[in-house]
Amino acid sequence: MYLQSYPIDCKSFMRKLYFFFCFFLILFPLRISAQNYTSKPKLVVGIVIDQMRYDYLYRFAERYGEGGFKRLLNGGFNCRNAHYNYVPTETAPGHASIYTGATPSMHGIIANNWFENGADMYCVQDTTVKTVGSETPNGMMSPKNLIATTITDQLKLATNQRSKVIAISIKDRGAILPAGHFADAAYWYDRMNGRFVSSSFYMKELPKWVQDFNNLKLPDKFLSQTWNTLLPIQNYSISTADDTPYEAPFQGKDKPTFPYNLAELSEKMRKSPMKVPPYDMLTCTPFGNTLVKEMALRALEFEKLGKTEGVTDFLAISFSSTDIVGHAFGTNSIELQDTYIRLDRDLAQLLEYFDKEVGEGNYLLFLTADHAATEVPNYLKDLGMTAGYISTKGIRQKIEDYLTQRYGEGRWILEMDDKQIYLNRHLINSKNLVLSEIQKQVAEITLQQEGIAYTFTATQLKEQYYGDGIGQFVQNGFFPKKSGDVIMVPQAHWLSDYWKKGTSHGTPYSYDTHIPLLFYGWQIKKGSTIERIYITDIAPTIATLLNIQFPSNCTGNPIEDLFD
């Protein structure tokens, strides 16, 4: 009877159902969108591997386990064509560019060292601060030379300082530049005593957990061991022979061959006339990376990173021993391959611990490198490639002779390395000479020397715009108050004659610029891109994922393929 009294109007019902369905479709995406605005990872992990070439991801892959590099490759997003876009490609500007999203022309860290106000300047030196955790001067460091904010700075600003930011590395610059200006702490390794130290810029004393970690004396434990290959040496066939003329043997050892008795070598280095710091030996082995990993695990545990209520924390880790081993033994050595196989296991332990303490899917991780490296030039020469070594002293002498002969006696060059020439501007002014003309003459003389491909004057770089090519790389690395009067660019596969054994980096060529860039974890889809991406794109990508402001001097762009 009830139904008969109130019969259903099918058309009206269907119309209401249709409008309800449309309303639901509109509302549902808005609800999801609103969730995206407020959701955030509990922890961001930035991993920088010093001197890692892109091809190491694959060249050594057969010996990697499933939990380290392969896990990131198989479950993350791989930027296969990521490059640096400036010179020099060195550790300090590399770390600064990763975290600021800017080139040296914008953030001011133009090299590891430069010449400024008549004196040598180290990238993070600061005489106004003191070492914390040691009696040595190795903690008199800060980010004062970095004139841009970092992505870690922006995270602290966005959360009213509630986010925790911790940075750890063997190298002081590998910790300080990622940490930025507002970090809770940056820790690095004091080679004089084997302890992690910091600076009064960050704190008055080391936290108890850091003191306890130092008291474990892990460097002593590592240096009491023998470094032998992790796997049977015949499994390293992708590398050159164990004993080659292209490697620099450790001081106190005749040949660059396994095994390495670290206790014996450490003792010889300590007693050498070169005054090598007592605990320096550890940095030249893969165990330097393992020490950093152990320190990072302690920081995660005792600082409770990833557990700060309602905000995202940040852990910046830089593995430096890969660079030191690479410099000594070259890119094709068994020593380097063994270092990466061991680092792969360290990464696997880190990822497993992040899963346990923060939760899989709750942390956002990126892995990259501060630069790559060339093969040993003499090795390439023996294979028939045009390569060689530049005599910096020889070039300097020719410039001094020319200017003395033409303009009279004087110290015409104040400072010079294999990349920059700083002229004596006071002398030039005192002789009523035109600086730009002297720069031009020096550039022309330098260009005539063996192994030099390009030269640029400071006047050119200030007055002209280079939209592409080598000129753009040089201009992106040029900062008028810090850079030299003449910038040199070597030919491909030419290094300073300081590196006649082992290898180095610093050029605009792909062997130095092409580095790995992997994203993994929170809201990161599995995939890859072959689009050309620059190192300056990392910071704005992280900022976009976190919905926070880009670093102040950022010139990079978010990686679009990561958001598709």
Helix axes 287-302, 334-354, angle to 10 degrees: 10
For residues 294 and 11, the model is more confident at: 294
Model confidence at 9, in pLDDT bands (50, 70, 90)? low
Q: What is the pLDDT of residue 564?
A: 75
Tokens of 506: 């610093």
Bridging pattern class, strands 82-83 and 533-534 = parallel
Residue 13 has pLDDT above 60, yes or no: no
Q: What is the pLDDT of residue 38?
A: 54
Planar angle of CA 348, 353, 358, nearest 5 degrees:
130
Closest CA to 170 of 331, 355, 366, 325: 325
CB-facing half-sphere around the CA of 189: CA atoms within 13 A: 32
For residues 30 and 327, the model is more confident at: 327
SS (H, E, C) 282-326: HHHCCHHHHHHHHHHHHHHHHCCCCCCCCCCEEEEEEECHHHHHH
Instruction: Spell out the residues 6+ positions from residue 457 whose beta carbon is closer than 8 angstroms to its own.
Output: 436, 439, 440, 442, 443, 485, 486, 487
Beta strands per DSSP E along 77-194: 77-79, 82-83, 113-116, 119-122, 131-132, 165-169, 185-190
The stretches of 127-235 forming alpha helices (DSSP H) are 151-158, 172-179, 208-215, 218-223
Average model confidence (pLDDT) for the chain? 93
Helix axes 287-302, 208-215, angle to 10 degrees: 150
* 330 φ/ψ angles, rounded to the nearest 5 degrees: 90, 170
Planar angle of CA 460, 85, 121, nearest 5 degrees:
70
For residues 5 and 236, the model is more confident at: 236
Residue 26 has pLDDT above 70, yes or no: no
User: Residues 337, 236: contact at Cβ < 8 Å?
Assistant: yes
| Encoded amino acid at 525, one letter | K
d(CA 278, CA 77): 41
CB atoms within 10 A of CB 276: 17
User: Residues 316, 168: contact at Cβ < 8 Å?
Assistant: yes
Residue 2 has pLDDT above 50, yes or no: no
Distance between start and end Cα atoms, the chain: 57
d(CA 344, CA 341): 5
Note the pLDDT tens digit of each residue in 351-360.
999 999 999 9
pTM: 0.93
Bridging pattern class, strands 226-227 and 260-261 = antiparallel
User: Residues 63, 239: contact at Cβ < 8 Å?
Assistant: no
| Encoded amino acid at 332, one letter | N
Residue 11 has pLDDT above 80, yes or no: no
Note the pLDDT tens digit of each residue in 157-181.
999 999 999 999 999 999 999 999 9
Q: What is the pLDDT of residue 160?
A: 98
As a whole number, mean pLDDT of residues 400-421 equals 97
d(CA 504, CA 124): 21
Distance, CA of 70 to chain centre: 21
Note the pLDDT tens digit of each residue in 472-481.
999 999 999 9
As a whole number, mean pLDDT of residues 95-108 equals 98
Residue 517 has pLDDT above 80, yes or no: yes
Q: What is the pLDDT of residue 434?
A: 98
Q: Which of 38, 89, 91, 457 is flagged as catalytic?
A: 91
d(CA 75, CA 518): 10
Model confidence at 270, in pLDDT bands (50, 70, 90)? confident
d(CA 344, CA 64): 6
91 is catalytic: yes
Residue 19 has pLDDT above 60, yes or no: no
Residue 119 has pLDDT above 80, yes or no: yes
Closest CA to 110 of 379, 409, 387, 477: 477
Note the pLDDT tens digit of each residue in 438-455.
999 999 999 999 999 999
As a whole number, mean pLDDT of residues 294-306 equals 98
- Domain 388-491, classified CATH 3.30.1360.150, yes or no: yes
Bridging pattern class, strands 165-169 and 185-190 = parallel
Tell me the CATH class for 43-381+517-562: alpha beta
User: Residues 164, 305: contact at Cβ < 8 Å?
Assistant: yes
CA torsion angle 130 133 137 142 (round to 10): -50
Residue 380 has pLDDT above 70, yes or no: yes
Model confidence at 35, in pLDDT bands (50, 70, 90)? very low
- Please name the helix (run of DSSP H) or strand (run of DSSP E) that holds residue 496, with its range, or none: strand 494-496
* 364 φ/ψ angles, rounded to the nearest 5 degrees: -110, 125
Q: What is the pLDDT of residue 465?
A: 97
CB atoms within 10 A of CB 94: 31
Q: What is the pLDDT of residue 272?
A: 77
| Encoded amino acid at 26, one letter | I
Residue 1 has pLDDT above 50, yes or no: no
| Encoded amino acid at 224, one letter | S
User: Residues 551, 539: contact at Cβ < 8 Å?
Assistant: yes
* 114 φ/ψ angles, rounded to the nearest 5 degrees: -150, 180
In angstroms, what is the C-alpha Rg of the chain? 27
Instruction: Spell out the residues 6+ positions from residue 120 whose beta carbon is closer than 8 angstroms to its own.
Output: 113, 114, 415
- Four-residue CA torsion sign, 19, 22, 26, 31: positive
Q: What is the pLDDT of residue 252?
A: 87
d(CA 7, CA 510): 77
Give the start-to-end residue ranges of the domains of the chain.
2-38, 43-381+517-562, 388-491
Residue 117 has pLDDT above 80, yes or no: yes
Residue 488 has pLDDT above 70, yes or no: yes
